[in-house]
């Protein structure tokens, strides 16, 4: 079903100058419209099966705005048109040309319109055309777990963490897929980052990222890779912790994280805050979440107050293209599903 929501968004700007916070306000009118919803709680017949997901881990748009969704537990990619109609699926568990083993991320290269699947626990990337036909395999010089984007047809920028016993690591790296080598490493850190939710966005000649759960946004020059800006995000920062169960089992508990995205030529930041029960067990989940969206204007952080009332699940932002935002439900929701918003 398609329907529209007209919202009046109140913007609050915060700029930091000589240790003081200057607050300014402005109001704008914005039009949010849901254009696509995909996902059902339980399939009642065979025709409905493609719309039931086991675990949505990654998604992307192709040049025709078809939607590609990685269903992690089924190790397959389901393809839908821009209205949400199922078209076909490809991949299955395994290590053959048309198979994937523990796929983690997918990304469509805008230059070639080919789909790339990070699989084999992050040791390999497989390339397919948008019809699901295998093209080639790309061995990686190291294990990749984090998100990645294409800078050029053959250049990937990806998020990495420190290696075992490494005192200083580089959070951002660039791989040349032709030579299968890391050609640049930057954003040095001595901290073990939580990179599960970290994303990168490129605007003009700047790379933007919100490292780990630190509640700040950083900018790096795309050519020199030097850090050119660090801006603290509003709100109290609660560091993640690792909970141990026995000798081997552990669980990460993340209380806040921020994700940058580009929309209509502007940089936005999607912030999630999670609140957990005091009792700790292996299967606990957040009691609630608070979602905030900010717009970066110069060094000012503009808060957008109010999200579409149709955002009736705990969201994780996945990808933005042009004026569309594809948002997935989080792993804590009752059933995985996605919604695509168009913002005018």
Q: Is the pLDDT at 51 greater than 80, yes or no?
A: yes
Q: Is the pLDDT score of 164 beyond 90?
A: no
Residue 207 within any structural domain of the chain: no
Work out the mean pLDDT of the chain and round it to a whole number.
Answer: 84
Do 300 and 269 sit in the same domain of this protein? yes
Q: Tens of pLDDT along 231-244?
A: 999 988 999 888 88
Q: Is residue 36 scored above 80 in pLDDT? A: yes
User: How many domains are there within the chain?
Assistant: 2
Greatest CA span in the chain, whole angstroms? 63
Confidence of residue 145 (pLDDT cuts 50, 70, 90): confident
Distance CA 310, CA 317 (A): 15
Predicted local confidence at residue 39, as pLDDT: 93
Same domain, 243 and 181: no
Residue 179 shares a structural domain with residue 284? no
- Same domain? 303 vs 333: yes
Task: Give the residue-averaged pLDDT of 2-23.
Answer: 30
61 in the same domain as 183 = yes
Confidence of residue 190 (pLDDT cuts 50, 70, 90): very high
* 154 φ, ψ (degrees, to nearest 5): -120, 10
Tell me: do 134 and 243 sit in the same domain: no
Q: Which DSSP state fits 120?
A: G
Say yes or no: 24 and 114 in one domain: no
The vertex-88 CA angle with 178 and 127, nearest 5°, equals 5
Q: Which domain holds residue 309?
A: 1-38+234-344
pLDDT higher than 50, residue 20: no
- State mean pLDDT over 200-211: 95
Tell me, yes or no, whether 104 and 6 share the same domain.
no
Mean pLDDT of 6-19: 30
Residue range 133-155: mean pLDDT, rounded: 93
Q: Is residue 204 part of a domain?
A: no
> Nearest CA to 142 among 192, 180, 199?
180
Q: Residue 287: left (phi > 0), alpha (psi -120 to 50), or beta?
A: alpha
The pLDDT, as a whole number, for residue 197 is: 86
Mean pLDDT, residues 224-252 taken together = 90
- The rounded distance, in Å, linking the Cα atoms of 304 and 311 is 15
Whether residue 125 is predicted with pLDDT greater than 90 in this model: the reply is yes
Structure tokens of 95?
């290590």
93 and 31 in one domain? no
Of 17-26, 40-49, 152-161, least confident by mean pLDDT is: 17-26
Whether 2 has a pLDDT exceeding 50, the answer reads no
Domain end position, chosen among 193, 212, 245: 193
Is position 46 within any domain? no
Give 255's pLDDT tier (boundaries 50, 70, 90). Answer: very high
| Window from 101-115, 132-146, 301-315 with minimum mean pLDDT | 301-315
- Assess whether 15 and 129 both reside in one domain: no
If asked whether residues 8 and 102 sit together in one domain, one would say no
Residue 214 belongs to some domain of the structure: no
Calpha distance 262→203 (Å, rounded)? 7
Q: What is the DSSP string of 203-270?
A: ETTEEEE--TTS-EEEEEETTT--EEEEEEPSS-----EEEEETTTEEEEE--EEEEEEEETTEEEEE
pLDDT value at residue 81: 96
Which pLDDT does position 311 carry in this prediction? 60
The residues, any chain, with a CB within 8 Å of residue 1's CB and separated by 6 or more, are 37
pLDDT score, position 29: 39
Q: For position 28, what pLDDT does the model report?
A: 36
Structural domain includes residue 318: yes
* Range 160-164 average pLDDT: 87
Give me the pLDDT at residue 232, please: 95
Question: Residue 145 is part of a domain; what is its CATH number?
Answer: 2.120.10.30
């Amino acid at each position: 079903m398609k329907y529209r929501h007209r919202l009046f968004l109140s913007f609050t700007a915060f700029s930091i100058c000589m240790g003081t916070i200057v607050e300014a306000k402005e109001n704008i009118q914005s039009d949010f419209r849901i254009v696509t919803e995909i996902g059902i709680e339980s399939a009642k017949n065979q025709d409905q099966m493609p719309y039931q997901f086991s675990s949505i881990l990654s998604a992307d748009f192709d040049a025709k705005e078809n939607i590609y969704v990685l269903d992690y537990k089924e190790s397959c990619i389901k393809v839908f048109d821009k209205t949400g109609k199922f078209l076909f699926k490809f991949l299955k568990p395994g290590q053959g040309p048309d198979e994937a083993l523990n796929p983690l991320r997918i990304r469509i290269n805008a230059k070639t319109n080919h789909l790339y699947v990070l699989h084999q626990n992050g040791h390999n990337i497989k390339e397919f055309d948008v019809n699901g036909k295998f093209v080639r395999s790309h061995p990686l010089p190291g294990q990749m777990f984090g998100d990645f984007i294409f800078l050029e047809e053959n250049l990937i920028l990806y998020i990495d963490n420190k290696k075992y016993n490494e005192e200083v690591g580089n959070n951002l790296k660039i791989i040349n897929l032709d030579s299968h080598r890391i050609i640049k490493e930057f954003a040095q850190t001595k901290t073990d980052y939580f990179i599960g939710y970290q994303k990168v966005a490129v605007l003009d000649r700047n790379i933007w990222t919100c490292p780990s759960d630190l509640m700040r946004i950083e900018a790096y020059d795309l050519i020199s890779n030097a850090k050119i800006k660090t801006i603290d995000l509003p709100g109290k920062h609660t560091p993640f912790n690792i909970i141990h169960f026995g000798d081997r089992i552990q669980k990460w508990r993340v209380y806040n994280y921020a994700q940058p995205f580009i929309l209509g030529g502007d940089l936005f930041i999607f912030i999630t805050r999670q609140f957990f029960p005091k009792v700790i067990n292996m299967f606990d989940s957040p009691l609630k979440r608070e979602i905030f969206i900010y717009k970066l204007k110069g060094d000012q952080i503009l808060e957008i107050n109010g999200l579409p009332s149709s955002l009736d699940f705990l969201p994780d932002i996945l990808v933005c293209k042009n004026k569309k935002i594809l948002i997935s439900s989080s792993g804590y929701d009752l059933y995985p599903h996605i919604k695509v918003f168009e913002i005018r």
